[in-house]
Structure 1
Amino acid sequence: MSYFENLRTFVRIYELGTMSAAARDQRISPAVASARMSQLEAHLGVRLFQRTTRSLTPTEQGRIFYEGACSVLAAVEEAEAGVGDVTENPRGTLHIAAPLGVGRRLIAPHLPEFAAHYPLVNVRLRLSDRKLDLTAEGLDVAFFLGRPEDSSLRIRKIAECSRVLCASPDYIAAHGHPTTGAEIERGQHNCLNLRFPGAREFQWELQTPDGARKFDVRGRFESDDGDVLTDWALAGAGIALKPVFEVADHLKSGALVPVVKATPPLPVQMACLYTHRRHQDPKARLFMEFVIDRMAAAVAE
């Protein structure tokens, strides 16, 4: 097996904490991951992890070796990226993450065209509405809606996305047509909420005559998938807070109707996150340049 493959597997085991998680990340079996660690430890003559049936803990030698392994892999990636940049023919694998709605509607449709332009670049697109850790999950670029909490990462703004509070005509007929945030805050309406592990209590930030204000909202339905909220709204289950680009067709057809127009939701920032090192990789830089203009144009429509 390649020594560099062993290094990459070691780094992912160290970062993810388990052999099985690292194996999934590397698209290999746990047995292969274990064999790579055994080879690496035999080569170095030291134990990199203390193994028990329930845990995997780095040894002191493992912690020291991790820093050096990261430096070696970063240097190799930078050298490979430099060759790709010079030849204008980048190669390698890009790991991209995005919220479900953004990924499905604004990124995935453009990947075949990107692949045609850069045939030696493989793209792994991971879609999830939960917050992701770029470093821990081995991501090159992560797209998001909102404000990032990690200020150590580089941010590239794409667009300000208009949002809308919307419900189906059936819901409005049964429960009334709310016009202000105060009506939904009083619990008169069922609010459909996006929930993921670690999420705080639900607040919708709306524009009032006195300025922006956060309203506490409640509802009977929660999901960690934004498209599920849209489906519930279409089924008449409640009111959803959605980026306009995600529900534009439903608004146009009348399947969903804007509500709370007197105090509309504030726009949300769409941007992407990347580390400084990742931006030096030409395939990551080219991907961002390729897709960002297309995303901004789609949001503006």
Structure 2
Amino acid sequence: MNKFDDLEIFAQVVSAGSLSAAGRELGLSPAVVSKRLRRLEDRIGTRLIQRTTRQISLTEAGQGYYERIVAVLAGIEEAEAFVSRRSQQARGVLKVSAPTSFGRMHIAPHLKAFMRANPDLSVNLALTDRFVDIVADGFDVAIRIAELSDSSLVARRLAPVRRILCATPGYIAAHGMPESIEDLDRHTCLAPHNNEPWKLEGPDGALVYRPTGPLMTNSSEVIRECVIAGLGIALRSTWDISRELKEGRLVRVLPAYGGSRNVAVYAVYASRRFLPTKVRVFVDYMSELFGPRPYWEK
């Protein structure tokens, strides 16, 4: 084995989470994996991993080293694929992180067509509402719905996000239609994360409204079900409630106001010179699927 093999073993150990798991994936014994890690640490003169056969933890130096070598290894893989005329075919395992509701509603239903078009590619889709560290957690790409700030990562905008205030016709019939933002104070407002503030845009520009209501939850899906059940008024994305709006089960409240226009659906991946084919084909597929006027707005 050469020094690049040692780098691959180190990266696999971090990705797998233990020496034994990495050994199984590489076809090596934990003893051999440990020996190669020691050789790598001796060569660079620092300890990278605190380890046992069952679990590992990166040192500060190891974390920085890992973040840098994964890009190097990806570049080598892509260069070799190009030389061997494999660059146009996606292969291997694509590890994707996506928000829970969006992934269930707008990614999972379209995986069949994507995987049929890329038969040599396997997809590992992890749904979570937290922002994962795609480098440290070993993800190839993350789908994020956010107003993104500056980052060392690459972000490609896949679709706009339109968020509106809404309620059921039954709730409006019982409690009246608000005529102004101030009228919301007399209504039951539903917001996750302990009544998190609503960042809105209206006729006079941006504003922040702090909703109040009897329900507190950390689940956006709970809020969705409660607004559909007629419990109150919520700020929801149209990708989440387009069917209910079309069917008349929900109606728009205060149509002059909506969520920030800077929020969008993004594909986020590590900045690297060689973008792996598996990432490129997935991001291209999602971009074509959604686009500037996504299907849930039609």
TM-score by length of 1: 0.76
Aligned with residue 231 of structure 2, among 221, 230, 237? 237
C-alpha contact 1:6 1:36 (8 A) present in aligned 2:
no
Whole-Å Cα distance in 2 between the matches of residues 264 and 72 of structure 1? 43
Matched residue type, 1:38: S
Q: Is 2:17 aligned against 1:7?
A: no
Tell me if the contact between 1:84 and 1:90 (Cα under 8 Å) persists in the aligned partners. Answer: no
Deviations 1:158-215 (A, max 9, x none): 232222211123333443322322222x3x22322233xxx9x722233333222221
Count of residue pairs the alignment pairs up: 285
2:273 is equivalent to residue 275 of structure 1 = no
CA shift for structure 1 position 129? 2.4
Matched ranges for 1:149-298 at <5 A: 149-184=149-184, 186=185, 188-195=186-193, 202-267=196-261, 268-277=263-272, 280-296=275-291, 297-298=294-295
* CA shift in 2, pair 1:91/1:262, >3 Å: closer
Secondary structure of the equivalent of 1:129?
Answer: coil
| Residue type at the aligned position of 1:155 | A
Alignment of 1:92-103 (within 5 A): 92-103=92-103
CA distance in 1 between partners of 2:259 and 2:69 (Å): 47
Residues of 1 paired with 2:251 and 2:223: CA distance?
15
For 2:235, give the aligned amino acid: L
1:79 alignment counterpart: 79
C-alpha distance in 2, partners of 1:211/1:65?
Answer: 45
CA apart distance, 1:59: 8.4
Using the TM superposition, name which of 273-282 and 94-103 deviates more. 273-282
Deviation at residue 55 of structure 1 after TM alignment: 8.6
Give 3-state SS (helix, strand or coil) of 1:142's partner: strand
For residues 237 and 18 of structure 2, the distance between their equivalents in structure 1, rounded to whole angstroms, comes to 39
Q: Using the TM superposition, name which of 251-260 and 264-273 deviates more.
A: 264-273
Contact 1:49–1:59 under 8 Å retained in 2: no
- The structural deviation recorded for 1:90 is 2.0
Could you tell me how far 1:112 is from its partner in structure 2? 0.9
**For the residues of structure 2 that align with 1:299 and 1:91, how far apart are their CA atoms?**
31
Q: C-alpha root-mean-square deviation of aligned residues, in Å?
A: 3.8
% same residue: 34
- Cα distance 1:56–1:158, how it changes in 2: closer, same or farther (>3 A)? closer
Distance in 2 of aligned mates of 1:117 and 1:109: 15
What runs of 5+ residues in structure 1 fail to find an aligned partner? none
Q: Secondary structure at the match of 1:287?
A: helix
- Paired residue secondary structure (1:277): coil
2:158 maps to a residue whose letter is I
1:232 CA drift (Å): 1.1
Q: Distance in 1 between matches of 2:251 and 2:199?
A: 19
Residues 1:34 and 1:189: Cα distance change in structure 2 (over 3 Å):
farther
The alpha-carbon distance between structure 1 residues 75 and 252, as it changes in their structure 2 partners (threshold 3 A), is: closer
Q: Deviations over 1:216-270 (max 9, x none)?
A: 2233334444332211111222222111122111112222221122434344322
